[in-house]
Amino acid sequence: MSHGSEGGILDEVPPPYPEPAAVPVRECGERLVDLRDVPALRTATPGSVLLRLGVVDRLVTAQTMLPEGLRLLVLGAYRPSPGLRCTGHETGAAADLTLCRADGVELWPGATDPVAAEQRHTLSEALSVVGLSNYPAAWWHWSHGDCSWAYLRGAGHARYGPVRR
């Protein structure tokens, strides 16, 4: 099953529901961090994977909460968007995440068996504790500080708007 950012399951996410797009943004100007420079996190692609510093810090903390032998695996992160919406990936505040074993073998908790359900619960618990919110239609899509996060958390405004590079 393909689930990378090139024509796979992650590209099949329905567009965000309209309410978060109306959340105001108070851009904090936090920089993007290349995850290749963060040894605590694994990425599924050899190229640069960019996220806001505050999101990276939260992911590193979530990593410490996982059971021994499990690691976070970042499947996708910042992606430029032709429009200037605040939906997640174009802000550098959203990541597509799954789990992998310590040896790097990817786990795919999208299956319907009890083991996959437990893996989703483990992932969800660690990410929720550090303040990330899940996009309800996609178990793998998590964010902090974007419009979707602000809407789901009732924060009143987003910290991160679209990155203009």
- CA–CA separation, 146 and 111 (whole Å): 28
Q: Answer whether 127's CB lies under 8 Å from 152's CB.
A: no
- CA–CA separation, 93 and 45 (whole Å): 18
Please tell me the predicted confidence (pLDDT) of residue 134: 95
Residues 80, 81, 85, 88, CA torsion sign: negative
Please tell me the predicted confidence (pLDDT) of residue 28: 96
Please tell me the predicted confidence (pLDDT) of residue 84: 66
Give the domains, in start order, of the chain with CATH numbers.
Answer: 25-153 (3.30.1380.10)
- CA–CA separation, 160 and 67 (whole Å): 31
Q: Look up the pTM and report it.
A: 0.86
Q: Answer whether 137's CB lies under 8 Å from 152's CB.
A: no
Closest among 8, 28, 14 to 158, alpha carbons compared: 28
Q: Answer whether 41's CB lies under 8 Å from 35's CB.
A: yes
pLDDT in tens, the chain (165 residues): 334 434 444 544 444 445 777 889 999 999 999 999 999 999 999 999 999 999 999 999 999 999 999 999 999 999 988 776 667 899 999 999 999 999 989 998 887 889 999 999 999 999 999 999 998 889 999 999 999 999 999 898 999 999 987
